Amino acid sequence: MKAIESLKEKFSDKIISHDSFAGQDFITAKKECLKDMAVFLRDELHFDFLSDLTCVDYKGYPGRENAPRFETVYHFYSHKTKERISLKFPIEETSPNIDSLTGLWLAANWYEREVYDMYGIHFTGHPDLRRILMYEEFKGHPLRKDYPLKARQPRIPHED
């Protein structure tokens, strides 16, 4: 049985939608079940590799006016079954937070810091949620659609 079928069976009440395109499976689900799904994927379905973790800002996206603004996207790969699956979790602008996967895959650590840096999503339970690319003094989150394209921030002094 493909992973998407197992997930649909086990998390039927949490899954918002699912899709398959070009041999890739996508599942959109409620963010509360992220950890349960991740544990299930890792321990039961042998998805041992978190290959990417990113985020999308859908502000102003045609057809998504009433949908949640953000979506975190997780790409998993199984070295055992050679299968891939992508999970998406919609996140409301008013409460931009989701559970951290750092405890399950160490790779999530820096990915989550990047998403926090660029989109301002807070990962609950992350051990060290600091900016990873921008400097500490930077205000705002530059990949948000409402970050002004031409905005320039004060230059930082040198620190020893």
Q: Three-class SS of residue 30?
A: coil
Which DSSP symbol is given to 134?
S
Least distance CB 155 / other proteins (angstroms): 6
Q: Does 149 bind other proteins (CB under 8 A)?
A: yes
Place of tokens 């890739």: 24
Residue 152 found at the interface with other proteins (CB under 8 A): yes
User: Which one among 73, 107, 132, 134 touches other proteins, defined by CB under 8 A?
Assistant: 134
Binding residue (CB under 8 A) for other proteins from 11, 46, 49, 142: 142
Does position 158 interact with other proteins (CB under 8 A)? The reply is yes
Whichever of 95 and 153 has its CB closer to other proteins, that residue is 153
Rounded to the nearest whole angstrom, what is the least distance from the CB of residue 143 to other proteins in the complex? 9
121 and 97 Cβ atoms separated by less than 8 Å = yes
Candidates 16, 39, 67, 156: give the one binding other proteins (CB under 8 A).
156
Residues 6+ apart with CB under 8 A from 38: 74, 101, 104
- List the structure tokens of 127: 């051990």
